[in-house]
């Protein structure tokens, strides 16, 4: 698996497995085990997903040395702020069964995320995390965070797929060498992603599926992808994107699919702010 270098020198796999909405613990554990056996080394979870413990069990059962893995988790809105972030981080380490994280992220740009960032800077300084970053931070909040603190985020994990390519945000990220990380790289199947004519035609040239074309496009754009699946065949298929290269013409075709707006999560929307603040989980 290809890796990319973060702005603090850490090497990060360019593709991993996401476990959002995989709430069944046994299913989550089996999916992670399948991914690790396939060759994935990046696993992306979060406190609010409720499956950190299952991820940790899979990691231990895999027999793969911890230093060869890249584990990512996130602090949710209800734990925003310095003290609560510190407590949430300790609980994440306990559930994952590890003594450090490779990447720790602020999950949403809501609440006291400045307090959370101060805590995360200290965790970074103490060596308890190798890199810190954010999720769903659009240009205004991202710049605010950068200008308010000493450490620049290493990653911004956002909705990013052919229909929402985040070009303006990625321009700002490039200025600070922040790596984009794509959640929902398949747009959750919206806009007929898996049968899309342009993506299907491109894939037919290489004997690849539209999903594989999307993952290859992200790879060539320098974007980390964390496709989610609980099906062994799909997990393996998603990993098989190292044996072909999209042409410049293919890349142009995919760039033309950009609608310029979110399909899944409208972060600045007041309704989304209320909805996401209302999501609470037991700790």
Q: Which two tokens stand for residue 206?
A: 């290489």
- Please report, for the chain, how many H helices and E strands are present, in that order: 11, 10
Quick check: helix, strand or coil at residue 208?
Answer: coil
The residues pairing with 156 across neighbouring beta strands, listed in sequence order, are 134, 180
Q: Which of 40, 49, 104, 113 is catalytic?
A: 49
Residues 52, 73 contacting (CB under 8 angstroms):
yes
Rounded distance between C-alpha atoms, residue 242 and residue 2, angstroms = 9
Q: Calculate the CA 156 to chain-centre distance.
A: 8
The yes-or-no answer on residue 49 being catalytic is yes
Long-range contacts of 5-10 (CB under 8 A, 24+ apart): 6/131, 6/154, 6/155, 6/177, 6/179, 7/152, 7/154, 7/176, 7/177, 7/178, 7/179, 8/130, 8/131, 8/154, 10/102, 10/130, 10/131, 10/154
Report how far residue 24's alpha carbon sits from residue 44's, in angstroms, rounded to the nearest whole number: 16
Q: DSSP class of residue 8?
A: T
Supply 93's token pair: 């380490």
Question: In angstroms, what CA-CA distances link 16 with 2, 80, 98?
Answer: 11, 26, 18
- Catalytic residues, which ones? 49
């Amino acid at each position: 698996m290809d890796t990319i270098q973060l702005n603090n020198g850490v090497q990060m796999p360019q593709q991993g497995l996401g476990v959002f909405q995989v709430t069944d613990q046994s299913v989550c554990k089996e999916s992670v085990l399948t991914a690790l056996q396939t060759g994935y080394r990046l696993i992306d979870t979060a406190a609010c997903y409720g499956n950190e413990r299952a991820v940790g069990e899979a990691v231990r059962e895999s027999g793969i040395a911890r230093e060869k893995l890249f584990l990512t988790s996130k602090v949710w809105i209800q734990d925003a702020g310095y003290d609560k972030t510190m407590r949430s981080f300790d609980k994440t380490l306990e559930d994952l069964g590890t003594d450090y994280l490779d990447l720790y992220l602020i999950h949403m740009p809501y609440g006291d995320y400045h307090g959370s960032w101060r805590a995360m800077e200290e965790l970074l300084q103490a060596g308890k995390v190798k890199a810190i970053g954010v999720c769903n931070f659009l240009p205004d909040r991202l710049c605010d965070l950068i200008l308010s603190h000493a450490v620049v985020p290493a990653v911004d994990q956002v909705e990013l797929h052919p229909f929402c390519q985040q070009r303006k945000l990625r321009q700002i990220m490039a200025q600070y060498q922040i790596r984009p990380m794509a959640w929902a790289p398949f747009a959750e199947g919206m806009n007929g992603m898996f049968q899309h004519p342009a993506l299907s035609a491109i894939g037919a040239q290489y004997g690849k599926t539209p999903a594989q074309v999307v993952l290859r496009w992200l790879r060539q754009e320098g974007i980390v992808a964390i496709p989610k699946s609980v099906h062994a065949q799909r997990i393996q298929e998603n990993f098989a994107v190292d044996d072909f290269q999209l042409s410049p013409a293919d890349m142009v075709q995919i760039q033309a699919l950009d609608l310029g707006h979110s399909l899944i999560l409208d972060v600045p929307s007041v309704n989304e702010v209320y909805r996401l603040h209302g999501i609470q989980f037991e700790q």
